[in-house]
Amino acid sequence: MSAELKDKVAVVTGGNSGIGLATAEKLVAAGAKTVIVGRNRTTLDQAVAALGENASAQQADVSDTGALQEAFSAIARAHGKIDVLFVNAGVAEFSPIGEVAEDHFDKLFDINVKGAYFTIQSALDHIADGGSIVLTSSVVNELGLPGSSVYSATKAALRSFVRALAAELAPRGIRVNSVAPGLTETPLVGKLGLAPEEIEAFGAQVAAKAPTGRLAKPGEIANVATFLASPQSSYVNGAEFAVDGGFAQV
């Protein structure tokens, strides 16, 4: 993958943490000028310092369409065009249906679904023909996992966006795919709304069911996201790649 993306411009939402940060590292290593988008100025600055001179940051909340438009206009002014868009920012909170409040439902759909959709819309005029859009979905979008009804539905919506947009953007040669991680060791796991012992039990349950026998490292998801971003995946379109150690595959 070395220098595969030389002189390309990549944008990673949620690039200041977890899977997004690990992918930004690989995109920079592949030669791309990489812009990370996130909410928190302090962690954005820390991530840019760690990523080095080919990285920069734009602060935006992806659930705020005005902020997205400003961020992508600024990226276009600085870089001229975007070749790779990694639509990765997201939140995960689990709750049984009887305890789901309206604001839980709205927050997850605002960030994960509306945020992803308008990230793509705001970037679209700036994406070069032949570009690649990659979304972070989740293998839970095709599982029936108790407590995950709202979160899983947000990720199922992304799977549907991938299919429709791959067809719609084909005339511009823009490919649209998604990476669907299984349970991955990132800060998100601590924010699921589960007690520490519940997280441990959930992790053990997932690891036991996955043939690979453990949880994913962020870099393992980033490898596949970077593959989907690069010309190496030139004949992959409208697809979702599960990276779950086999958890949802067997």
Count Cα atoms within 13 angstroms, Cβ side, for 77: 7
- Among the listed residues 1, 74, 76, 91, the single contact to ligand NAD using CB under 6 A: 91
Least separation in angstroms between residue 3's CB and ligand NAD is 26
Give the footprint of ligand NAD on residues 164-183 (CB under 6 A): 181, 183
Confirm or reject binding of residue 61 to ligand NAD (CB under 6 A).
yes
E strands, 97-226, in order: 127-136, 175-181
Confirm or reject binding of residue 35 to ligand NAD (CB under 6 A).
no
CA neighbor of 159 nearest in space, from 113, 191, 205, 193: 113
Of 128 and 189, CB closest to ligand NAD = 189
Least separation in angstroms between residue 14's CB and ligand NAD is 3
Cα of 221 vs its chain's centroid, Å: 10
Q: Two tokens at 9? A: 């411009």
Q: Is 196 exposed, middle or buried (0-12, 13-18, 19+ CB in 10 A)?
A: exposed
- Note if 235 is an active site residue: no
Give the footprint of ligand NAD on residues 199-238 (CB under 6 A): none
- Among the listed residues 75, 111, 162, 229, the single contact to ligand NAD using CB under 6 A: 111
Confirm or reject binding of residue 23 to ligand NAD (CB under 6 A).
no
Of 59 and 128, CB closest to ligand NAD = 59
Confirm or reject binding of residue 19 to ligand NAD (CB under 6 A).
yes
CA distance 227 to 210: 23
Choose one: 50-58, 71-79, 88-96, 163-171; the region binding ligand NAD (CB under 6 A): 88-96
Least separation in angstroms between residue 73's CB and ligand NAD is 17
Confirm or reject binding of residue 62 to ligand NAD (CB under 6 A).
yes
**Backbone angles phi and psi of 105, in degrees to 5:** -60, -50
CA neighbor of 26 nearest in space, from 88, 74, 117, 70: 88
CA distance 28 to 52: 8
Return the residue matching tokens 């990476």: 179
Q: Using CB under 6 A, list all residues that contact ligand NAD.
A: 13-14, 16-20, 38-40, 61-63, 88-92, 111, 115, 136, 138, 181, 183-184, 186-189
